[in-house]
Each structure stands twice: as C-alpha cells, then as structure tokens.
Structure 1
Amino acid sequence: MSTDSLPARPGEPPLLPDQFDDALRARLAALDAASDTHADDQRPDNTTRAYRSDWKTWEAFCAQLQIPPTAATRGTLRAFVDYLWNREKRAYATIDRKLAGVVVTLRRPPYRVLVDPDDTEAARQLLKDYAKKAAEAEEPERGRGKAPALRLVDLQLIVSKCDTDIFGLRDQAMLLLGFSIAARRAELAGLRLRNIRPDDNGLLVHVAVSKTDPRTVPVPYGRHPATCPVRAWQAWANAADITDPDRHAFRRIHHTGSVQPQGLTPQRAGDIITAAGLRAGCANLFTGHSVRSGMATEARRKGKDRKAIAAITGHKPGSKVLDGYMQIVDQWDENDNALIGIGL
C-alpha cells in the first residue's frame, strides 16, 4: 500500500497538492461532491428556483449567439446585459440578479468555470451606464420598484378590516407578527410552531429560514389589543388547533374553512398581505416585503437606534438596505437635513 497519503511524521513538512496520490485525490473529490450536495440542500427553495430561471435565460441567449453556455467572457457577459436591457426590457435588479445567477451556476458542478471578477464587473458597469442614460432620458422606471413601507396607520386599518372568521384570524396574525419580526415573505412562510415560543413578556420568535443569518426576535405584548401581535398569534393558533411543533405556523385554509396541514408558499404569503391591503382600500399596493420595510421605517420614526432595528431585521452593520429605510425618515430630521433651521 502506498504511504504517500499518510499524515506526515512529526517534524516532516506536510504533503503539497501535487504530491497527493490517486487514492487521496479520489477521497478529496468525493468530499467535494458530498459538500456540494449538502450545500445545495441548504439553499432556500426560492433561491434555487431563481438560479434555475437565470440559467435558462443564459442558455437561450447563448443558443442565439451559437456559443456554449460555458463561454462567459467580458464580451459575452456584456452582450447578455445588452440583450436583457434592450431586447427583453428587463428591470435593473432582474438583470443584476441574473448575472449573479449565471456566475454562481457556472462555478458549481458540472461546469466548474470560474468567471473572471473583472469581466463580471465590466458587465455590471455597462448595466449601470444603461440605467443612468435611461434616467437622463426620463424613461419610466422598470420593474415594480421598492415595496411601499406598510405604515402603522395602514396596518391598523388593514387589521380592522379583516374578518373575524378563520381566514381573518390567520391574516391578522400574519400581518402583525410579520410586521413585528420584520419578516420577508419566505421567513413568514417558513415559520414552524417550534420557532414561536411563549414568554412572560410576549413571544420569542426564531427566524430560522432567512436569506441571511437566523435571528431570534423578542416580540412584546402590544399596548393596543387590536394590533397586538402576541394576542393575534394566540387567537389564530387556538382557532387553527396548531399543536405539532414541526408543522408550519401559518397554513393553507380550504374554502370551507378547514385548516390544512400544508404550509404557505412564500408567494402565497405575499399574496395574502397584498390582498388584505386591497380589501382595506389602501392607496398603496403592499407586497410581502412591505411589513419588513414598514417595521424599520416606523421604528426609526419613533427614534429607535439603528442597532436595535437591525437586531430585529437581521441587517448587518452598515447595510445599504437598512440605510435606505433610515433615509426615508432621516431626510426630515433637523440633524440630518441641512436646510432645517438655517433661516430659510
């Protein structure tokens, strides 16, 4: 038996990669494959679906150019941006995400193609230039744009318009708890009963399904019973008879009113929030992300520290997204608006 793959003796230098024998290389390749499979299993379903869609778009584009999909160069990536912007009329955020999806997919098996970061940056710079020219030409903004923040006054109105039946109880609980934990729609749909633990002061909600790191949010009792997230959750859980800790916290409901064992998809969770806003007659078209931006915006309006807000939203220090929420409020603050108090 070859001893080349055995650990080095004390005092001997470790083997370098070009000294590995075939048996060790095979073991390392098997470990790589197993780790890839495990990482894929951990990736959120919506991310996997998005990457799959991005790759299909890239394959169709490459077929038109009669090039293999592994030919990701500065020229082909720029051409891809041009194709999506000028022919497909896609939104800026969509094109940026598709670029990322293509690069990530190429990096993984079976392709294992590492795209030069400078080539990717060149394509992104072209996209920025297109967007800048479109703005200068006063072209209509593409895509849905940012989700409008669900302000507290709107939340109060929407909750008050919810029915008192099982559908209304679920919608109230989703809106109020989603607002309180600054939930993305996938985070709301991913909650299990075991993630929501009662506490003397309210609830401890562990957001395990997240784009970023998991977080635990302490949700206190509300001052007003009608908008209290804790009471709303308890009312829904009791009415739906949710007892299995491994089942979803928010479920599908049959049109007859019977609660189903299946959980909601992220898309359906967002649709429920949108529909609730429409029923209440709100001027803004709220989406699944509106409860998240709404919580951050309202907390800032009340003078809450950005670190305290980030602890609930899960944003990293210096997050540009969180900065965007802060700017909504801070633009009218006398300490952040240089025009206020100067004598105009």
Structure 2
Amino acid sequence: MPKSPENGSETDEKSTSEAFPADNGHEGGASDHVVILPCHVAGSGTLDRLANTARDYAKASKAKNTQTAYLSDWKHFSRWCRIKGTDPLPPSPELIGLYLADMASDRAKPLSVATIERRLAGIGWGYKQRGLTLDRSDRHITAVLDGIRRQHAQPPKQKEAIMPEDVLAMVDTLGFDLRGLRDRAIVLLGYAGGLRRSEIVSVDRGQDETDDSGGWVEIYDDGCLLYLNAKNGWRTVEIGRGSSDQSCPVHALEKWLHFARIEFGPVFVRTSRDGKRALPSRLNDKHVARLIKRTVLAAGVRPDLPEKDRLSLFSGHSLRSGLASFAEVDERYVQKQLGHASAEMTRRYQRRRDRFRVNLTKASGL
C-alpha cells in the first residue's frame, strides 16, 4: 500500500517565503514560482531541481478543488478591499470582521454561514501563502462570526438518499452501448462503495499510471478493492459482488472495462457522441452529478415532487448517503466504508436510520 503524499527561482534581496508573485496583496492566481531557496544560498542545478520538487509537493498539500476555492475567496476579499478603498495587507482582524459582517448582511445576496466560514479559511490561506499569519482567534473576528452563527445559522441542507430499489430503477434506464455500460458501473460502484463523485472518476486501472490518479482498482473473484487517496488520506474500499449480475457493481465494472478495452489509465473516461467509442480523457466528476439527476428523473424517483425539486434534492452525494442510510449492517462497517473518522459524521449521512433504537429515556428509569 503506498503512503499518502505529504517555487523556485532566486530573487534579489526579497523574501523567499512568498507563494504568490508580487501583487501588492491584490488579485492574482496561485503562483508557480514559490521560492524555496533562501536568498543567501547560491543556486545550483541540484538545488533548483529540488526546489521544483518542493514546489510540486507544496501544490499537492491541498486538494485542487480546495485550492481553487481558497484562491477564489482571496480574490473576492481583495476585490472587496479595493472597492472599500483599503488594502488587504497587512492582516487586520478589524478589517476582516467588517468584511464578514458585510457578507452576512448583504440584502441582495447574503452568504450562508458555511460559505462565510469557508471565505475566512480562504483568507487565512491567502495570508499564509504570503508568509503572513492571520490570528483567527482575535476577538474582532470571533465575536462577529459568533454573532453571524447565532443569527443566521440554519440546519444543513442535505441531499436526498437514494434507496436500493431506486438504484435498480435508475440503472434500468441506461442503455447497453459503451456510455450506458460506463454509467451503469458508475452508479452501482458509487452506491456500493459509498464513494464521493471525485473518488469515482479519479480511479485508475492500476497503480501510479497517471499523474492525476486518485487511486486504483483490483478485481478478485469475490469482489474488488479500491485504493483511494481520499480526503483524509489513503483508504481501502471493499466492494463485494452482488446477488445478481443486474445489480452487481463488480460485474458492471468488468463489462465496462472489457468492452471499452481499458487496460491502462483512467477507469472512467469520456465516450464519443454516439456512445460507441471510449476516448482517452478522464471523465469529469460533474458528470456523476448530472448522471444521478438524469436517471432519477428517468426512473421516476420521488414522483410526488415537481421536477425542479427532484433535481435539487438529488446529486452525486445521494449515492454516498444512500449506502449510509440503507445498508443493514453494524454502523461501524458503514463508517469504515465511507472513510469517516467518527460515528457522528456517519450519522449525518443516515437519512432514515432507526433513531430510537437506543432509548435513553427508558434506560434511565422513566
């Protein structure tokens, strides 16, 4: 099992810890020129190569989607500062408190508490890239944020869990060309594995076959193993064979791999417009969300709701919450399958569990 992975030209008389090019704290993309070598160290071919390697590891320190979101947060904050006639540098807890208050009280489009908290994390990340530290525990930030939580916090909006019978109905709407075989394997594998949509599309046929690989798959007589470089590090997901070929995720995966002739590289790739030819490029994770919405409508899941509501209720995450809600096994096995560090996190995914199986009222003698 591989271990989980844990910029660089010299500048004259400048700090060597900046992760962005000089931009006076304003907008700008994440730099490919993070300076690793101290300015008093003479460059050499060996050190320059190590600096490039260190830059690559620095880029991998956070998921690409996280870095993209944080960069967007920093841009938004920088733009807000410019509009208000101030500068984001150096860090000012008082200024950031005003920014958070403005985001929460915007009458046109107030941000949710979760988005505001993410924005704050992105701002802290932006300062860190510039060798600066934001004290997020400062009272000018914490007091405002606590007030925002108290006045605006709402229960999390969760996606609807897909029931087992819904999954079978959804895959029945898919064809038997290459596109249909691929999408059938995605739905069944995602459901049985409790996988995130990014995990589904990141898997390769074998280990270390592509630069953007998020893991690989091994197929056995009794099922398959997915080795995933997931959100919290490497984990192994065990997916056994189903009770019939029609509902078996491993059988669906084998058929897709066979007819698409995939022996190397990404497992799930794009297909030609006619759905008859596999293309070399990896499938985007947004396809999983679109696939779930499309098959939910085609299968008539939740016919009691208007089409617009059904589209908003179901997404790629519905596969993950479906497994957590309807797998009739001990909770600890579901927790392991989903890769959660705590049982409490697993329970957040359980939409229809037996909530009163343990009755503390009776246990206490009442």
- Structure 2: stretches of 5+ with no match in the other structure: 1-37, 207-215, 303-309
Q: Indicate the residue corresponding to 1:7 in structure 2.
A: none
Cα 1:174–1:336, aligned 2, differ >3 Å: closer, same or farther?
A: farther
Q: Residue 206 in 1 paired to residue 227 in 2?
A: yes
Aligned partner letter, 1:292: R
Query: Do 1:96 and 1:124's aligned partners in 2 also have CA atoms closer than 8 Å?
Result: no
Separation (CA, whole Å) in 2 of partners of 1:68 and 1:26: 34
Separation (CA, whole Å) in 2 of partners of 1:91 and 1:84: 9
Displacement after TM superposition at 1:117 (Å): 3.1
Query: Do 1:251 and 1:260's aligned partners in 2 also have CA atoms closer than 8 Å?
Result: yes
Which of 350, 353, 364 is 1:329 aligned to? 353
Separation (CA, whole Å) in 2 of partners of 1:177 and 1:263: 17
Q: Residue 250 in 1 paired to residue 274 in 2?
A: no
Query: Do 1:182 and 1:292's aligned partners in 2 also have CA atoms closer than 8 Å?
Result: yes
Q: Indicate the residue corresponding to 1:229 in structure 2.
A: 249
TM-score (norm 2): 0.74
Q: Indicate the residue corresponding to 1:157 in structure 2.
A: 169
Displacement after TM superposition at 1:124 (Å): 5.5
Q: Indicate the residue corresponding to 2:88 in structure 1.
A: 69
Separation (CA, whole Å) in 2 of partners of 1:175 and 1:189: 12
Q: Residue 265 in 1 paired to residue 284 in 2?
A: yes
Cα 1:117–1:123, aligned 2, differ >3 Å: closer, same or farther?
A: closer
Cα 1:325–1:192, aligned 2, differ >3 Å: closer, same or farther?
A: same
Q: Indicate the residue corresponding to 1:274 in structure 2.
A: 293
Q: Residue 95 in 1 paired to residue 107 in 2?
A: no
Displacement after TM superposition at 1:132 (Å): 3.3
Query: Do 1:330 and 1:337's aligned partners in 2 also have CA atoms closer than 8 Å?
Result: no
CA RMSD after TM alignment: 3.1
Which of 189, 206, 221 is 2:201 aligned to? 189
Q: Residue 83 in 1 paired to residue 102 in 2?
A: yes
Separation (CA, whole Å) in 2 of partners of 1:169 and 1:175: 10
Of Structure 1 and Structure 2, the greater helix share is in 1
Displacement after TM superposition at 1:70 (Å): 2.5
Aligned partner letter, 1:99: L
Residues 27-176 of structure 1 aligned to structure 2 (within 5 Å): 35-87=54-106, 88-108=109-129, 111-119=130-138, 123=141, 126-134=144-152, 145-176=157-188
Query: Do 2:204 and 2:267's aligned partners in 1 also have CA atoms closer than 8 Å?
Result: yes
> Deviations along 1:72-106, whole A, 9 cap, x unmatched?
33222222222222224122222211111111121
Query: Do 1:171 and 1:276's aligned partners in 2 also have CA atoms closer than 8 Å?
Result: no
Cα 1:123–1:254, aligned 2, differ >3 Å: closer, same or farther?
A: farther
Separation (CA, whole Å) in 2 of partners of 1:41 and 1:95: 25
Cα 1:149–1:126, aligned 2, differ >3 Å: closer, same or farther?
A: farther
Cα 1:81–1:22, aligned 2, differ >3 Å: closer, same or farther?
A: closer
Separation (CA, whole Å) in 2 of partners of 1:64 and 1:265: 36
TM-score (norm 1): 0.78
Aligned partner letter, 2:218: R
Q: Percent identity?
A: 25
Query: Do 1:166 and 1:236's aligned partners in 2 also have CA atoms closer than 8 Å?
Result: yes
Q: Indicate the residue corresponding to 1:15 in structure 2.
A: none
Displacement after TM superposition at 1:43 (Å): 3.3
